[in-house]
Structure 1
Amino acid sequence: MNRSKTTFSLSPYLFVAPAALLFGLTIILPIALTFAFSFYDWNGFGAMKFVGFDNYARAFHDRVYLASYWHIFIYIVLTVVLEVFCGLLLAGLITMKRRGSGLFRVAFFTPVMLPMIVVSYLWKFVYNSDFGLINALLSGIGLESWTRVWLGDPQIALYAVTFVSGWVYAGYYMTIFYAGIQRIPNDIYESAYLDGATDRDIFFKIKIPMIRDLVDVAIMLCVLGGFQAFDLFYVMTNGGPYNSTEIVTTYIVKVVFSNMSVGYGSALAVLMSIVIAILGILTNKLKKKESGSLEY
């Protein structure tokens, strides 16, 4: 009986062990190694030289690295508008029970299904200054002065890349908001129409307030997605021109794989993780404070 009890008590751990081992090898171990490497000067192959906090001190004097956070901030603010708010407006439009709303729903969601690499190369062609569609269209309607080297101008390259992100993910957030709006009982709409409410009133005074939690989650996803952005920037501009579209992830890749500075790149990655953690904590506190004020 003792043996059977021992076997039974160990069985849950045996079932969990493969998943825990996989999680440890793929998540915990890389995080621990990245943190350890951040205290060394190492190129990934030769001898490791302990430098303490020198890599972190260097990061706070790295203008390109510090500017990359400003670029992410601009990117996040613009994507909140282009993705979340535009997705919310699209969800409001396709839930008005107008003819063809299903077709529009599919059309708006189609870019989400395309791989980001494909989207990046597609829009590189659209933005091409020599034979791109945008410059060709502007020239065709007599607006040659508006033509630009869209991805080669430091003043507008970041906005050009951000627009592509909005074009892709607006349909994604539209689908989330559409699902939330579909859960609102029809009785509420009927009562509002009887009171003389218009479609605009129903959208701003009923639909949006009743899916407020989804909007908050979408904004949070947009913020976190801004720090995780990589492939779109890497393919379209690779941080150029003149580091005007450099973001943290693309810069870390350059530091590690181009400059062969694993230690410094690890320190940059640790700092980015700390920034994301602080943002998550602040957002959670603001959310709790807002929930408490509403309950009060």
Structure 2
Amino acid sequence: MRAHRPFAPYLFIAPALIVFGFAVLVPFVFTGAFSLTEWDGYSDAVFVGVDNYLRAFGDAVFQQSFVNVVVYILVTLVVEVLVGLVLAGLAISVKRGSLWFRVAIFTPVMLPMVVVAVLWSFVYNPDFGLLNGALRAFGLEDWTRVWLGDEQTALLAICVVSGWVYAGFYMTIFYAALRQVPAEVVEAARLDGAKESTIFWRVRVPIIRKSIEVAVLLCVTGGFQSFDLFYVLTNGGPYHATEIPTTYLVQAVFHTGEVGYGSAMAVVLTAVIVAIGLIMTTLRHRSDRRDRAPRGPGDDTATLAPVSPAAPALEPEMVR
């Protein structure tokens, strides 16, 4: 059956494509063009070819910024994704007050990140901050320090703030996924004598594996795009200890007026994020193909949860 108006679908998606073109494609093309020039934003641009890219690859601070953001992502995978998973498990197990528990944990997600950064700057204040005050109250005077001004603690302090905010976001994702776990599988594991902790880690978690993969992808790609939290709390300091690519390129463009060099760093950062996204998506697709592939009767890889005899017959389902 042929459509009477073959161009109708294109008319419906045209507004979205126009917005995407002006908001994403056009700025990206101009950024790529600026990256090949030496320009301060006011005078005439001078074409320099790939000199800005060569400078970026040899810039020690730019290289350190990637090390810092990788460390930040690795820590946030624990304090955001893993903690969010544990909180979701607690929300599932709590019979009374689960709603208020989820609301309390999710509330920081609804706050603007600038507001969160300002609030936590008072918590970390070395003179009247809540953290140092609590340490002094418990007699731990030696543990007090300038948390955001110490090279050894500044990045970790920012990671803690990020975990406080986004753990509730990932908790919500995992809670929705855990609610879809078939009750028969859980009851079968309980009849086998499995403890609740064992049921959670060896029955529930494998079933929501694809939701966890999506959360990891969001955490990794989102980590590279972080900016406001770092900018408000430390602005890359002290001594570039919390410098990440976004803060460094913004400083190059708006503080030193090196639009061409900042554009080159933006292109490099975009390429890294796209490459990581493609790699993780490819790995997920391969995993999906392995899950859908026919398995032999003696294939032990079909076992989903060793504690439950009913689990091998169940395939993980993606929670949409």
What's the TM-score, normalizing by structure 1?
0.93
User: Which residue pairs with 2:307 in the alignment?
Assistant: none
- Alpha-carbon deviations, 1:217-266, whole Å to 9, x = none? 10000001101100100100010111110000011110000010111111
Paired residues of 2:84 and 2:168 also in contact (CA < 8 A): yes
Pick from 17, 20, 23: which aligns with 1:20?
17
- Alpha-carbon deviations, 1:73-109, whole Å to 9, x = none? 0000000000000111111111114333332222111
User: Which residue pairs with 2:200 in the alignment?
Assistant: 203
User: Which residue pairs with 2:128 in the alignment?
Assistant: 131
User: Which residue pairs with 1:183 in the alignment?
Assistant: 180
CA distance in 2: counterparts of 1:109 and 1:18, whole angstroms: 33
Distance 1:251 1:102, change over 3 A: same
Letter aligned with residue 123 of structure 1: W
- 1:47 and 2:44 matched: yes
Q: In the TM superposition, what are the counterparts of 1:129-278 in structure 2 within 5 Å?
A: 129-278=126-275
- Paired-residue identity, %: 53
Alpha-carbon shift at residue 68 of structure 1 (Å): 0.3
- Alpha-carbon deviations, 1:18-46, whole Å to 9, x = none? 43333222211101000011100000110
Alpha-carbon shift at residue 61 of structure 1 (Å): 1.2
Q: 2:53 is paired with a residue of what secondary structure?
A: helix
Q: 1:60 is paired with a residue of what secondary structure?
A: helix
Bigger helix share:
1
CA distance in 1: counterparts of 2:282 and 2:20, whole angstroms: 28
CA distance in 2: counterparts of 1:12 and 1:93, whole angstroms: 45
Q: In the TM superposition, what are the counterparts of 1:279-294 in structure 2 within 5 Å?
A: 279-294=276-291
CA distance in 1: counterparts of 2:200 and 2:19, whole angstroms: 46
CA distance in 1: counterparts of 2:143 and 2:62, whole angstroms: 32
- 1:107 and 2:104 matched: yes
CA distance in 2: counterparts of 1:172 and 1:18, whole angstroms: 30
Alpha-carbon shift at residue 281 of structure 1 (Å): 2.3
Question: More displaced, 185-194 or 209-218?
Answer: 185-194
CA distance in 1: counterparts of 2:257 and 2:132, whole angstroms: 39
Paired residues of 2:221 and 2:276 also in contact (CA < 8 A): no
Q: In the TM superposition, what are the counterparts of 1:114-125 in structure 2 within 5 Å?
A: 114-125=111-122
Q: In the TM superposition, what are the counterparts of 1:58-73 in structure 2 within 5 Å?
A: 58-73=55-70
CA distance in 1: counterparts of 2:18 and 2:195, whole angstroms: 57
Alpha-carbon shift at residue 155 of structure 1 (Å): 1.0
CA distance in 2: counterparts of 1:122 and 1:150, whole angstroms: 14
User: Which residue pairs with 1:34 in the alignment?
Assistant: 31
Root mean square deviation, CA, Å: 1.6
- Alpha-carbon deviations, 1:194-232, whole Å to 9, x = none? 221211121011110110000011000000110110010
Question: More displaced, 184-193 or 54-63?
Answer: 184-193
Distance 1:19 1:91, change over 3 A: closer
Alpha-carbon shift at residue 13 of structure 1 (Å): 4.7
CA distance in 2: counterparts of 1:182 and 1:9, whole angstroms: 42
Query: Can you give the 5+ residue segments of structure 2 that lack an aligned partner in the other structure?
Result: 296-320
Letter aligned with residue 280 of structure 1: G
Distance 1:19 1:117, change over 3 A: same
Letter aligned with residue 187 of structure 2: E
What's the TM-score, normalizing by structure 2?
0.86
CA distance in 2: counterparts of 1:10 and 1:285, whole angstroms: 32
Query: Can you give the 5+ residue segments of structure 1 that lack an aligned partner in the other structure?
Result: none
